[in-house]
Structure 1
Amino acid sequence: MATLSDVRRIAAELPGSEERATTGGAAWFVRNKIFAWEGHPWPSIPAAAREIIANELVLVVKISDQIEARALRHMNPAVFLPETTKWSEPKIAFRMEGIDVDHLGELVIEAWRLQAPQYLRREYDAQHPAVN
């Protein structure tokens, strides 16, 4: 089971990554663009997802497109939540208790890559050649 400490550790290794406290909890940004955040049960979220978010630790990350979101939900519907809100699409929300740390790392790093400028992605790639 992954924790917010795991998210913090992973994000700390990403160039330009910055954690901020927000109204909804912790959030991670790169160059003022959000790439991951702690889920919060906002009233605009459909009731079923809102109930899960209110009772469990849920992380939300940016993804490349809605096709990826559908694939993740299909792969593991017990972990990946149905749509939440249209805000900050495309994104995927998932139950942290159902994600192992390796998969969490993949999701957070890919979310960061989607938001990071090219020079920061190149810096990361130079430091982690096996990941490329």
Structure 2
Amino acid sequence: MAILDDVRRTADRLPGSEERATTGGAAWFVRGKLYAWECHPWPSIPEEVRAIVASELVVAVKIADRVDALALREMQPDVFLPATTAWSEPKVAFRMGGIDADHLAELVTEAWRTQAPKYLRREYDDAPAGQPA
């Protein structure tokens, strides 16, 4: 089962990534742009999703395209939640208890890529394999 420290480990390797505490929990930014966050059961979230978010650890990430979110939700509906709110779209929220470490790292890294400027993406891509950028 993945935990927030797994998100932190991935985020720590990403150039320009910064963790901040928010009223909803932990959140990760790159150059001031949100790319991953711990979900909180806000009243604006649909009731059925809010119940899940209130009872287990759920993380959301920015994604490149709404179609990608739909595909993830359809492939693993027990892990990827239905839409939470219209804010920060496009995004996908998922149950940390249902995701493996490799997939989590991929989701967080791709979320970072959607928000990072080109020079930081290039720095990450040019770093030797296995070393933080």
Q: Distance in 2 between matches of 1:51 and 1:109?
A: 28
Residues 40-59 of structure 1: pairs in structure 2 closer than 5 A = 40-59=40-59
Match of 2:88 in 1: 88
- Would you say 1:6 and 2:6 are equivalent positions? yes
* Aligned-pair identity (%): 70
RMSD: 1.0
C-alpha spacing 1:125/1:106, structure 2 compared with 1 (3 Å):
same
SS of residue in 2 equivalent to 1:78:
coil
Partner of 2:20: 20
Within a 5 Å distance, the mapping from 1:62-81 to structure 2 comes to 62-81=62-81
**Count of residue pairs the alignment pairs up:** 130
Query: Once the 2 structures are TM-superposed, how far is the Cα of residue 65 of structure 1 from its aligned partner?
Result: 1.3
Q: 1:129 Cα deviation (Å)?
A: 5.6
Q: TM-score, normalised by structure 1?
A: 0.96
Q: Which runs of 5+ in 1 are unaligned?
A: none
Partner-residue secondary structure (3-state), 2:26: strand
Gapped regions of structure 2 (runs ≥ 5): none
Counterparts of 2:120 and 2:78, CA distance in 1: 34
CA distance in 2, matches of 1:17, 1:127: 15
Name 1:61's counterpart in structure 2: 61
Q: SS of the counterpart of 2:44?
A: coil
Structure 1 moving runs of 4+ over 3 Å: none
**2:114 aligns to what?**
114
**Deviation string, structure 1 residues 17-72 (Cα, Å, up to 9, x no partner):** 00000000000000000000000000000000000000000000001111001100
TM superposition shift of 1:128: 4.8
Q: How does 1:92-103 map to 2 (within 5 A)?
A: 92-103=92-103
